[in-house]
Amino acid sequence: MEQEILLKIEHLQKAYDNHTILKDISMEIKKGEVIVIVGPSGCGKSTFLRCINGLEKINHGAVYFKNDCISDESLPRSRICQQIGMVFQSYELFNHLTVIDNITLAALQVQRRKKSEVQQTARKLLTRIGLADKENFYPRQLSGGQKQRIAMIRALILNPEIMLFDEVTASLDPEMVREVLDVIIGLVRQGMTMLIVTHEMSFAHAIADRIFFFDDGEIVEENTPEQFFTQPSTTRAKQFLNSFEFNSVK
């Protein structure tokens, strides 16, 4: 049985004034797939994720979630964000709210779910990521890795069908990276559909179903992780991989 296509991007273009960020990007993501996007800084990876969930308005093309066009502003962003969760590298937590209030806010105010049910779910998620004892802490009392894990389950409590991760380890100390990546690995095992922008090459190699290599606003290469990391089909991808300590390129 063929997997359902959850997300389809057709000929997406994005520019600021006269500066083109994304040039004719097209891809399809099937239910349960883990897509990893890699590429040099400034190549449009983060902008691409922000276009998908409506944080950036596109100039041309379309984004479809299942059969609905979600890039033409016909659907409210609040509805899109419930289906397509996003986690940023900067956490975006409310400093005046406790951990549990940060996690439950959108579920209560946007989805109008019962407080008792949402808090119960939040506590289960906190236990799963090893932070059950932090529910009444404020963000200032947490480490970077703890804040990022809180931001992740804040998105997950809305029960999205797709998760977007934008360089979620970029601002973390090296010893905190593993605890955040472990949460994503857990989602992979649960079959969550994900698009992940990362510079963690070993991690990308381990979890991806497909790798998309972006450069200068374009998809330069699409490949399996094994092929991409051992025998990339483009010279530009080889040059990119040679800049990392992780290097299986022959």
pTM of the model as a whole: 0.91
Yes or no: say if 188 and 205 are a contact pair by the CB < 8 Å rule: no
250 pLDDT band, cuts 50/70/90, is very low
Over residues 132-158, the pLDDT tens digits come to: 999 999 999 999 999 999 999 999 999
Over residues 36-45, the pLDDT tens digits come to: 999 999 999 9
Yes or no: say if 219 and 44 are a contact pair by the CB < 8 Å rule: no
pLDDT of 56 > 60? The answer is yes
DSSP conformational letter for 134:
G
Answer positive or negative: Cα dihedral of 98, 104, 108, 114. negative
pLDDT of 249 > 70? The answer is no
Domains, the chain, with CATH or none: 5-94+160-241 (3.40.50.300)
pLDDT of 240 > 50? The answer is yes
pLDDT of residue 238: 94
